Amino acid sequence: MGDVIGIVECNEECLNIAKKFLEHVMGWYHSYFASSCIEKGICRVLVASDKEMTIGIIVFYKALTKPLPTIVIYYVAVDSKFRGRGVGKALVTSVESLFENNQHIFLATTRENNIPSRKLFSELNYSEAFIEHLDNRTSNFIERLACSYEDDVVLYKGISDIAILAHINENISIAERIWKRVCYEPWKQLRKI
């Protein structure tokens, strides 16, 4: 890769940089939801930089699901000039390394037509399933846990079958609480504007 000089966790001083970067790369709508999650202290952010320029950001959070906690990779954003150079992979593996001392499930969602994202996760040994092919309980669980209503593909690692998570009753209430804070409350706030 060679371009990434550093990947660091974003602290309060860099949150404005992260918000501006997300808006530049993903647009205001996705930036709004990611920023809301960060501001509430639910999401964490890692920033990849080249020299003094931000080239990529990953936004993620931990859900205390059973049998293992789930790390939801909420957004991966890479500046268009740096795509295809391994920045996204470096960001995802950096998140995974934060939790390497304990077993976790890693989960992300994307659109079927987002081939670069699907390739990135596939190369990192994530399994893939089309959300529409899952049973209703599992698809609803994933949509709530990952706030992924626009996505149709789930990518996961650390568990052989993603449906296992959805069929543990405690996990449904965990996903519901996350959905309210990460998705629903920001959406309600947005409608008031």
pLDDT digits (tens, 9 = 90+) for 27-64: 999 899 998 999 899 999 999 988 778 899 999 999 99
pTM: 0.92
Distance CA 5, CA 49 (A): 6
**End-to-end alpha carbon distance in the chain:** 42
Residue 174: other Cβ atoms inside 10 A: 20
Alpha helices by DSSP H, listed for 40-150, are 87-98, 115-123, 136-146
Q: Across the beta sheet with 70-78, what order do the strands follow?
A: 6-9, 44-50, 53-63, 70-78, 105-110, 153-157, 127-130
CB 48 within 8 A of CB 55: yes
Worst-scoring range by mean pLDDT, 48-57, 90-99, 122-131, 156-165? 48-57
- The string of pLDDT tens digits covering residues 66-96 is 999 999 999 999 998 888 888 999 999 999 9
* Per-residue pLDDT, 15: 81
Is residue 125 left, alpha or beta, with left meaning phi > 0 and alpha meaning psi from -120 to 50? left
Place of tokens 């939790």: 99
